Amino acid sequence: MKPLVAIIDWARQPVGDPAASIESGILGDAAVVKTFLCDTEADFTGEILNAQALIIWHNIQVTAPTIARLTSCRALIRNGVGFDSVDGAAAAQRGLALCNVPDYGTEEVADHALALTLALCRQLFPLDAEAKRLGWSIAVEPRLRRLRELTFGIIGLGRIGTATALRAKALGFQVCFYDPHLPNGVHKAIGITRVAGLDELLRRSDVVSVHCPLNAETHHLIGERELALMKPDAFVVNTARGAIIQKTAILEALRHGRLAGAGLDVVEDEPLRTAEEAATPNLIVTCHAAFCSVESKREMRATSARIARAAVLGEPLDNIVNGVPRTARPAN
């Protein structure tokens, strides 16, 4: 029998296609490809647990007990950049590679971050609402800002952070960044300013855009204390992971006027849970959609399928994020 590549989609909101047309086209005769709709890992069937590769869409957590039950798997492939939903350490203990797709949505997320920024700095949504009420008083005039006089601060200068920095720079922002994991000299390569600490970046920035991964170091990286350091007329944009910013803290800052606005593609414990949260003033929220485009989704699925094909053929794997050697064989 041919090996199985199992695509794990979210039953409540599927984002792939049941026929797995892109994945099937790339895997060809190398494997059988099936899509499984699951609410949680508790829904993993014996067929899934026997698959040789799992392609996992977001919203499904894969924890150590489930990983221990994978009898034939060589690769867990997160269909996206973030991989915090899968226990990579537990997979590594079994020699099981955890892979991601780090570059498929770079342009889209950077574009989305700038779109949210422009919507805040130019107050597009309040102006739209006022015009549709047949008004013309420009009540939000005190919030309208000139971009070239603003400092755009970036937290995390990886692929997406760099793409965002270059876009912000082209729009005239004065761009700075904080990233303790990068070597010296990176700022010179793209012509922006490096700051020594997060507190300094928060104090000096008019826009703070988040582009770091979610892990133990960055969970609640921005909370009540950090928001208090920011200018009251500053904006926060997050297109990374929701739990990097403490939800209760940022919503309270907006409600009490300690922050001028926020553009969040991601929120902690997403989506928003109550009408009160949704009614928070000066808040723009999008549906964890920054990565989305016809082109990016196609690229993401094709990359995951190529990694799955390498897994079933016993070839070296790309984009391993949990330290397993590319050519390692999993423990049975």
Among the options 107, 200, 252, 270, which is catalytic?
270
3-state secondary structure labels for all residues of 33-81: EEEEEECCHHHCCHHHHCCCEEEECCCCCECHHHHHCCCCCCEEEECCC
288 is catalytic: yes
Give the gyration radius of the chain's Cα atoms: 22
In the chain, the N- to C-terminal Cα span, in Å, equals: 19
211 is catalytic: no
Q: How many Cβ atoms from other residues are within 10 Å of residue 18's Cβ?
A: 11
220 is catalytic: no
Instruction: List the one residue out of 210, 256, 217 whose CA is nearest residue 236.
Output: 210
- CA trace torsion 64, 241, 250, 170 (10° rounding): 160
Distances (CA, A) of 14 to 37, 39, 193, 199: 7, 10, 42, 40
Among the options 241, 301, 306, 309, which is catalytic?
241
Helix 159-170 vs helix 106-121: angle between axes, to the nearest 10 degrees?
40
Among the options 74, 288, 306, 309, which is catalytic?
288
3-state secondary structure labels for all residues of 238-297: ECCCHHHECHHHHHHHHHCCCCCEEEECCCCCCCCCCHHHHCCCCEEECCCCCCCCHHHH
The residues assigned a catalytic role are 241, 270, 288
